[in-house]
Amino acid sequence: MNPKTFFAELKRRNVYKVAIAYGVVAWLLIQVATQVFPFLEIPNWAIRLVIMLIIIGFPIALVIAWAFEATPEGIKRTEAADAAGQRPRGGAWVYIVLIGAALSVSLFFLGRYTASRKQTESAELPAKSIAVLPFVNMSADKNDEYLSDGVSEELITALSKINGLQVKARTSSFAFKGKNEDIQKIGELLHASHLLEGSVARAGNKLRITAQLIQASDGNHVWSDSYDREMQDIFAVRSDVARQVVQALQVKLGVQGSQALTEKPTQNLKAFQYYMQGRAARQRRTSADLAAAIRAYEQALQEDPNYAWAYAGLADTYASAGYYGAIAPVEGRRKAEEAARKALAIDPNLAEAHAALGLTYVGFSPSNFSLGERELRHAMELSPSLAEAPYDLGICFIRQGRLNEASLEFEKARELDPVSSIMARTAALPYYFKRDYARAFELLRKSNQLGPALSGTWEIGLYLKSGSLKEAFTEIEKVKATRKDDPLLIYSAGVAYAGAGKKAEALESIKELETMSGPGLSTAHWIAKIYATLNDKEMAFSWLERALGTGAIGVFYKDEPIWDSIRNDPRFASLVARMVVPEKELNP
């Protein structure tokens, strides 16, 4: 066939048109695969498969275009269509090309924009940020896991005190314990530029500790080393590893940082073991776990009465026990303050003790916000990566109605502890108090994906105000199996019943809380909330008075929507005024 005749025949048989249309549609499909598939978490092999099929399909499409023709009577061979005079003359293919091209271009620029945003976010990632992943226990005895966890936590604590280095909190780092996650993914989730991982193996009195610093973006090892030491040298190894990390990341230590790397919290390894048990139990926050944490810390102090860290842990646990109704709030506050002051008497620069002391001022009523803010800010100066300090400062601001300032502190805490459900859900708190229930509930739902729901007294109020009581009951049933006899759960059910108009069930919840409260009335404040939801003003004020009179009020949010039914009563303003104590009436 003459070349001119051949190319003319290609044109006559619409092969060119099919090639152009195929190219445009193929590009559209490739854009969909590369831009949409990752968002839907479809594996990369699926993208490669789409591209391969498109390439294979191109010559097949051209052959079909040469051999067949679409006619009003269906697909026919080109020769038959020519003989019957049925060759189509419409320009439908032009519309296909234009529409496909428009969609392809849109997806292309959307992809470039998204990539640009990711690059910007990556650029915003702190260059000197690190997450210490839980070291692996390589000992034959699985009970030695406290050593591997202990090394990890000690490194987190020591590095957290160094200015210029952002260290992710223990809660977020330990979320990956026992999981074989991709290094880059962990770095992205934790918003950390570097990861520190390693292992601990014990044989008798001998320790072998390995550590490696990894760049999260590409998985490359920046530094690695191993240490063979005696058991009593565990804190010295901690110091060596931390110093190597600081040198590798080129962080200036300063006097405070140097002290943080060399200090030994205790010389007693038995005390250290009890301390680690207390830390693990306290993280779980149930009444039984908080009691176990208190016992473990007290055992640590029996082993080493000068263990400032154990006193700080004890203070934090007593404060949590008072808040969650495990003990009377007044008792929790008193014991927390006492333990925090003992810790500071031993180590005046212990950030965790200053944070615990600050919490006693802002987390209980009557409160002293100025003293609490002073202690919490001092804790942040001593340990810039201590996530609990900005978190508690945010609570302090919320209680004063300083909602925008609270949001800023919660953002700091979230950056330091990015996969903690407790830190995540605080993002919803300011919106809840602003009565932006839709936004608050959206944020709360997202945080529920990270961990257990209903971990704070205000959450059930948000379910109620957002008209999501059915979902609230679902969450309550979901967590019942793991949190039996949990006063917080019983309270949440009581508010849900009250909001749903089920007065008998709400009163039954109140009865359960009364029984749990005992003489200390540890849940009196919560009982008042259920009565307020039932619109029973007299009983709500009665229980608030009893709570305030016995010190049985933990975190009291004066602007919380759950109090709206009694807010306009003059007695409410009087109660709020009595919940703040002048500075001169509290010990500085």
Task: Decide: helix, strand or coil at residue 286.
Answer: coil
Residues 588 and 479 in one domain: yes
**Residue 8: predicted pLDDT:** 66
**Is a pLDDT exceeding 50 seen at residue 383?**
yes
428 within some domain: no
**Residue 103: predicted pLDDT:** 58
> Span 207-213, mean pLDDT?
94
Please provide residue 209's backbone torsions phi and psi, each rounded to the nearest 5 degrees.
Answer: -120, 130
Burial class (CB within 10 angstroms; exposed 0-12, middle 13-18, buried 19+) of 87: middle
47 within some domain: yes
For tokens 């191993």, what's the residue? 226
- Least confidently predicted of 41-45, 271-275, 395-399: 41-45
**Residue 462: predicted pLDDT:** 95
**Residue 369: predicted pLDDT:** 93
Residue 84: pLDDT band by 50, 70, 90 thresholds? Answer: low
Residues 118 and 12 in one domain: yes
Please give the full DSSP string across 424-493, using - where no structure is assigned: HHGGGHHHHHTT-HHHHHHHHHHHHTTS-S--STTHHHHHHHTT-HHHHHHHHHHHHTTSTT-HHHHHHH
**Residue 123: predicted pLDDT:** 41
**Is a pLDDT exceeding 90 seen at residue 444?**
yes
pLDDT in tens, 229-247: 998 888 899 899 999 999 9
362 within some domain: yes
State percent of the chain over pLDDT 90. 53
CATH for 477: 1.25.40
**Residue 580: predicted pLDDT:** 83
Residue 586: pLDDT band by 50, 70, 90 thresholds? Answer: very low
**Residue 69: predicted pLDDT:** 65
The β-bridge partners of 393 are none
Residues 146 and 232 in one domain: yes
Residue that is last in its domain, among 344, 378, 412: 378
**Residue 20: predicted pLDDT:** 72
Two tokens at 548? 């305030």
424 within some domain: no
Contact (Cβ atoms closer than 8 angstroms) between residue 390 and residue 160: no
**Residue 484: predicted pLDDT:** 77
533 within some domain: yes
210 within some domain: yes
**What is the spatial distance between Cα 486 and Cα 475, in angstroms, rounded to a whole number?**
14
Residues 34 and 76 in one domain: yes
**Residue 340: predicted pLDDT:** 98
Task: Decide: helix, strand or coil at residue 318.
Answer: helix
Residues 252 and 313 in one domain: no
Q: Is the model more confident about 481 or about 182?
A: 182
Residues 258 and 272 in one domain: no
**Residue 582: predicted pLDDT:** 58
Q: Is the model more confident about 65 or about 128?
A: 128
571 within some domain: yes
Domain that holds residue 291: 268-378
Residues 6+ apart with CB under 8 A from 56: none
Write down the number of H helices and E strands in the chain. 28, 8
> Parallel, antiparallel, or unpaired for β 194-203 and 221-230?
unpaired
**Residue 554: predicted pLDDT:** 76
Contact (Cβ atoms closer than 8 angstroms) between residue 49 and residue 61: no
At residue 537's C-alpha, the angle toward residues 536 and 540, to 5°, is 85
CATH for 307: 1.25.40.10
**Is a pLDDT exceeding 90 seen at residue 416?**
yes
115 within some domain: yes
Residues 370 and 478 in one domain: no
Residues 149 and 93 in one domain: no
**Is a pLDDT exceeding 70 seen at residue 4?**
no
Q: Mean pLDDT across the chain, nearest whole number? A: 84
Residue that is last in its domain, among 228, 262, 296: 262
pLDDT in tens, 266-311: 999 999 999 999 998 888 777 888 999 999 999 999 999 999 999 9
**Residue 261: predicted pLDDT:** 82
| Residue from 404, 350, 400, 346 nearest 372 by CA | 400
| Structural domains of the chain, count | 4
Two tokens at 409? 């502190």
Alpha helices in 40-182 (DSSP H): 44-67, 78-83, 92-124, 145-160, 170-173
Residues 251 and 358 in one domain: no
Residues 275 and 175 in one domain: no
Peptide linkage before 418 cis (omega within 30 of 0): no
Alpha helices in 254-307 (DSSP H): 254-262, 269-284, 287-303
Residues 585 and 478 in one domain: yes
pLDDT in tens, 313-335: 999 999 988 887 788 888 899 99
Residues 163 and 189 in one domain: yes
Residue that is last in its domain, among 124, 140, 168: 124
